């Protein structure tokens, strides 16, 4: 199959990790899954390449579409794939509201720190001072720490790994898929084409090397002074908890209301 | 019963099982009523974070197999436009109630207007043909909401119920027919052997996600299997033309209007929504002054009833189009009759003030006298 990704793109790693995770969880096919994605490179991971149902929505609206699907068909595994532009740029409000509601879906965000599909413009995740096509003097904004934001919003599971950490990423996806409640994975990923070459890391290898050298495990980060963490990628499992889910509560409410009626 | 409540009750009767919305005056009572009533009937009502999320959730729910709707007013309807195009392109049945208020922008949030007519016609980007229904009473809020669901399911397309603040907020007695007298249409579901769910000759069957058909739903130009296919101009042309044509081709069944004395009258009043409520009395007053007047009330704004208007224009001397906006359907009527008879606008905006029979009569008398 010919995938639409550029040479060296981290999306193929994320795709591999996910399919392996599903396989290792014992699924024979993707019949019980529905994939929702928006616009951008990462949105192409499931749709139409997975042999499954997929809803490729308008930009940023994959999570509300997933909300409709999951509430109506609670037994399906609803998985959202998206880039940082799609999910924390245009779609941020939907992401944090879904976490707040504890909508029981899995969201996999591929964070390549850039708007890749439109050719390398600044994203809300672009590192401070990084040069992009819309920040030619260096980015004067600070990036979102999306995983921490999602934890604060109320997610049941949240983890961040890079495409260098393939095993951890795959294991995290398995945990996310078996989490009852809102699960979020941030996969920090390389984009040599639109990001790397402008920040002086021209190949996937150089970017992966950067991930390797600059990743700090969460436990270690907690012991480190904030100034020493500048420019680092804190990786690990940020939260793992159980809370009543939106679908449970909505369907219980329906049961009660039907009895009262 | 209130107009908005009638809309909500009709949605339940039509089989609606999912509502997602964002509060906005003067549409909110639809959300409030459904929040209470839908769960009692096994349905889901959810308040989303904004209108973009609301219509997205409705689209997701529709693909999950539920009849679904949202309700909003002008500013929220503007926010929904991108997804209206998406629903059209992906052939997703859903109902969008737009209860108009005075715009542009926040305008007069609590006042009536008819300013969204063209937004329903050309609001989203690209070429498309919408179905838009316009009620003029609480009874019709009920009837046309059911019809909106039926048309959405029959044609696999979003359908807009374009009401206005007056119709939505007023209270009237309505008759709800026994359920076996109400025609409810459900979407065509695929057989196990079916393979194509988009862009076929007839309106294709619609599978639900999770049913094992592996459907890729996309707003990109796609082939009959749903697969993205954007390089070929013919594929795009054929798809967009068919989506418009499936509605145009059935326009005769979709178009719905009410007429009064149109056979041999001198002047004709073409109206819709709350404005049409002043027309009946106007005609009576005109008759007393020796003016033979007739009327057409549009229950379907889009597709536009061109042929009907062209036919009646042959006999009339003059056509009047009263609207609570600065000319929207007026231009459409003018375009349709193409100079065959003079078309005159009667417009009023601001403060939710209705056009009164007296105002209509004054304008009509003046224009008729000028001609004679």
For residue range A121-179, list pLDDT tens digits in order. Answer: 999 999 999 999 999 999 999 999 999 999 999 999 999 999 999 999 999 999 999 99
Among B12, B50, B57, B125, which would you mutate to test the A interface (most chain A Cβ atoms within 10 Å of its Cβ)? B57
Cβ of B60 within 8 Å of Cβ of A53? The answer is no
User: Cβ-count burial of A73 within 10 angstroms (0-12 exposed, 13-18 middle, 19+ buried)?
Assistant: buried
Cβ of B59 within 8 Å of Cβ of A51? The answer is no
Would you place residue B124 in the very low, low, confident or very high pLDDT band (cuts 50, 70, 90)?
very high
Cβ of B217 within 8 Å of Cβ of A258? The answer is no
CA distance B71 to chain A (A): 16
Domains along chain A?
Answer: 11-260 (3.40.50.970)
Phi-psi region of A181 (alpha: psi -120 to 50; beta: other; left: phi over 0): left
Over range B270-274, report the average pLDDT: 98
What whole-number distance in Å separates Cα of residue B61 and Cα of residue B43? 11
pLDDT (0 to 100) of residue A260: 82
Cβ of B63 within 8 Å of Cβ of A69? The answer is yes
CA distance A97 to chain B (A): 7
Nearest to B184 by CA among B146, B213, B157, B211: B146
* pLDDT of B372 higher than 90: no
Mind listing the pLDDT tens digit for each residue in B70-112? 999 999 999 999 999 999 999 999 999 999 999 999 999 999 9
Cβ of A68 within 8 Å of Cβ of B53? The answer is no
Size of interface A-B (CB pairs under 8 A): 142
CA distance A229 to chain B (A): 34
Angle between helices B138-155 and B3-14 (to 10 degrees): 30
pLDDT (0 to 100) of residue B264: 86
Among all residues of chain A, which has the CA nearest to that of B220? A56
> A143: which DSSP letter?
P
Cβ of B39 within 8 Å of Cβ of A253? The answer is yes
Cβ of B210 within 8 Å of Cβ of A68? The answer is no
For the record, the structure tokens of B179 come out as 């359920």
> A86: which DSSP letter?
I
For the record, the structure tokens of B62 come out as 């529709």
CA distance B94 to chain A (A): 12
For the record, the structure tokens of A237 come out as 């499992």
CA distance B52 to chain A (A): 7
Which residues from A are below 8 Å from B47, CB to CB?
A: none
For the record, the structure tokens of B272 come out as 């819709």
Asked if A111 and A85 count as a contact pair (C-beta separation under 8 A), the reply is no
pLDDT (0 to 100) of residue A166: 98
DSSP B195-229: ---SS-SSPPP-PPTTSS---EEESS-B-TT--B-
Cβ of A72 within 8 Å of Cβ of B83? The answer is no
Q: What share of chain B in percent tops pLDDT 90?
A: 97
Cβ of B54 within 8 Å of Cβ of A64? The answer is yes
Among all residues of chain B, which has the CA nearest to that of A51? B214
Among A64, A75, A80, A100, which would you mutate to test the B interface (most chain B Cβ atoms within 10 Å of its Cβ)? A64
Which residues from A are below 8 Å from B20, CB to CB?
A: 64, 67-68
Name the residue among B20, B50, B228 with its Cβ closest to that of A68: B20
Cβ of B218 within 8 Å of Cβ of A48? The answer is yes
Residue spans of beta strands (DSSP E) within chain B: 16-21, 44-47, 67-72, 94-100, 131-133, 158-164, 216-218, 257-260, 267-271, 293-298, 300-302, 318-323, 343-347
Q: Which residues of A touch B (CB under 8 A)?
A: 31-32, 34, 36, 47-48, 51-58, 60-61, 63-73, 75-76, 93-94, 97, 250, 253-254, 256-258, 260-261
CA B320 to centroid of chain Cα atoms: 22
User: Cβ-count burial of B38 within 10 angstroms (0-12 exposed, 13-18 middle, 19+ buried)?
Assistant: buried
Q: Is A228 helix (H, G, I), strand (E, B) or coil?
A: helix
b/e burial code for range A231-243 (CB count within 10 A of at least 16 → b): eebbbbbbbeeee
Over range B309-317, report the average pLDDT: 92
Mind listing the pLDDT tens digit for each residue in B1-46? 999 999 999 999 999 999 999 999 999 999 999 999 999 999 999 9
For the record, the structure tokens of A156 come out as 């049941």
Among all residues of chain A, which has the CA nearest to that of B68? A68
Nearest to B90 by CA among B251, B216, B241, B237: B216
pLDDT (0 to 100) of residue A261: 74
Cβ of B65 within 8 Å of Cβ of A73? The answer is yes
Omega before B26 within 30 of 0, i.e. cis: yes
Mind listing the pLDDT tens digit for each residue in B130-160? 999 999 999 999 999 999 999 999 999 999 9
- Phi, psi at A244, each rounded to 5°: -60, 140
CA distance B87 to chain A (A): 10
Cβ of A34 within 8 Å of Cβ of B56? The answer is no
For the record, the structure tokens of A54 come out as 């997929």
pLDDT (0 to 100) of residue A133: 97
Q: What share of chain B in percent tops pLDDT 70?
A: 100
CA distance B293 to chain A (A): 49
Q: What share of chain A in percent tops pLDDT 90?
A: 97
pLDDT (0 to 100) of residue B371: 72
* pLDDT of A2 higher than 90: no
Which residues from A are below 8 Å from B48, CB to CB?
A: 64, 67, 97
Which residues from A are below 8 Å from B17, CB to CB?
A: 72
Which residues from B are below 8 Å from A258, CB to CB?
A: 39-42
Mind listing the pLDDT tens digit for each residue in A172-218? 999 999 999 999 999 999 999 999 999 999 999 999 999 999 999 99
Cβ of A48 within 8 Å of Cβ of B227? The answer is yes
Nearest to B295 by CA among B263, B323, B327: B263
Q: Return the half-sphere exposure (C-beta side, CA atoms, 13 A cut-off) of residue B50.
A: 18
Over range B281-285, report the average pLDDT: 96
CA distance A246 to chain B (A): 11
Name the residue among A57, A68, A250 with its Cβ closest to that of B61: A68
What whole-number distance in Å separates Cα of residue B6 and Cα of residue B10? 6
Mind listing the pLDDT tens digit for each residue in A9-68? 999 999 999 999 999 999 999 999 999 999 999 999 999 999 999 999 999 999 999 999
């Amino acid at each position: 199959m010919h995938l639409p990704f550029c040479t060296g793109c981290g999306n193929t790693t994320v795709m591999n990790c996910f399919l392996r995770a599903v396989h290792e969880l014992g699924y024979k096919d993707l019949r019980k899954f529905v994939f929702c994605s928006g616009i951008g490179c990462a949105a192409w991971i499931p749709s139409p390449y997975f042999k499954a149902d997929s809803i490729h929505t308008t930009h940023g609206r994959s999570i509300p579409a997933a909300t409709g699907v999951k509430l109506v068909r609670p037994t399906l595994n609803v998985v959202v794939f998206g880039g940082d532009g799609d999910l924390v740029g245009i779609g941020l409000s939907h992401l944090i509201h879904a976490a707040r509601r504890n909508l029981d879906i899995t969201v996999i965000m591929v964070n390549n720190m850039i708007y890749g599909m439109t050719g390398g413009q600044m994203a809300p995740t672009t590192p401070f001072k990084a040069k992009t096509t819309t920040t030619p003097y260096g980015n004067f904004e600070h990036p979102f720490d999306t995983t921490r934001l999602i934890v604060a919003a109320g997610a049941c599971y949240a983890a961040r790994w890079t495409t260098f950490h393939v095993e951890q990423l795959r294991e995290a996806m398995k945990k996310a898929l078996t989490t009852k409640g809102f699960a979020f994975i941030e996969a920090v990923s390389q984009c040599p084409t639109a990001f790397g070459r402008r920040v002086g890391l021209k190949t996937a290898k150089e970017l992966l090397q950067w991930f390797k050298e600059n990743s700090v495990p969460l436990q270690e980060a907690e012991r480190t002074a904030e100034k020493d963490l500048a420019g680092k990628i804190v990786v690990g499992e940020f939260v793992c908890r159980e809370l009543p889910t939106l679908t449970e509560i909505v369907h219980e409410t329906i049961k009660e209301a039907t009895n009262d009626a | 019963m209130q107009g908005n409540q009638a809309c909500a009750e009709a949605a339940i009767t039509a089989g609606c099982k999912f509502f997602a919305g964002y509060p906005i005056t003067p549409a909110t009572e639809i959300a409030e009523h459904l929040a209470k009533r839908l769960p009692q009937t096994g349905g889901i009502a959810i308040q989303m974070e904004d209108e973009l999320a609301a219509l997205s959730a409705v689209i997701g729910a529709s693909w999950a197999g539920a009849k679904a709707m949202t309700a909003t007013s002008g500013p929220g309807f503007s926010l929904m436009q991108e997804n209206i195009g998406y629903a059209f392109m992906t052939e997703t049945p859903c109902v969008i109630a737009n209860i108009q208020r005075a715009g542009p922008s926040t305008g007069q949030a609590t006042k009536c207007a008819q300013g969204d007519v063209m937004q329903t016609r050309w609001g989203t980007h690209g070429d498309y043909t919408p179905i838009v229904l316009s009620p003029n009473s609480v009874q019709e809020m009920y009837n046309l909401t059911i019809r909106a669901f039926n048309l959405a399911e029959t044609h696999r397309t979003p359908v807009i119920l374009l009401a206005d603040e007056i119709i939505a907020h007023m209270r009237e007695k309505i008759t709800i027919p026994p359920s076996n007298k109400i025609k409810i249409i459900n979407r065509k579901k695929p057989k196990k052997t079916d393979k194509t769910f988009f862009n076929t000759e007839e309106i294709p069957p619609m599978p639900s996600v999770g049913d094992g058909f592996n459907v890729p739903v996309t707003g990109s130009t796609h082939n009959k299997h749903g697969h993205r296919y954007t390089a070929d101009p013919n594929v795009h042309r054929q798809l967009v033309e068919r989506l418009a044509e499936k509605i145009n081709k059935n326009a005769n069944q979709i178009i719905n209007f009410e007429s009064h004395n149109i056979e041999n009258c001198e002047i004709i009043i073409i109206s819709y929504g709350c404005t049409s409520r002043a027309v009946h009395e106007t005609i009576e007053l005109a008759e007393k002054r020796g003016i033979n007047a007739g009327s057409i009330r549009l229950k379907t704004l889009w597709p536009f009833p061109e042929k009907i208007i062209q036919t009646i224009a042959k006999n009339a001397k003059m056509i009047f189009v009263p609207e609570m906006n600065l000319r929207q359907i007026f231009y459409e009527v003018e375009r349709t009759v193409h100079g065959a008879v003079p078309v005159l606008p009667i417009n009023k905006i601001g403060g939710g003030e209705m056009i009164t029979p007296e105002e209509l009569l004054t304008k009509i008398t003046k224009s008729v006298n000028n001609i004679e």
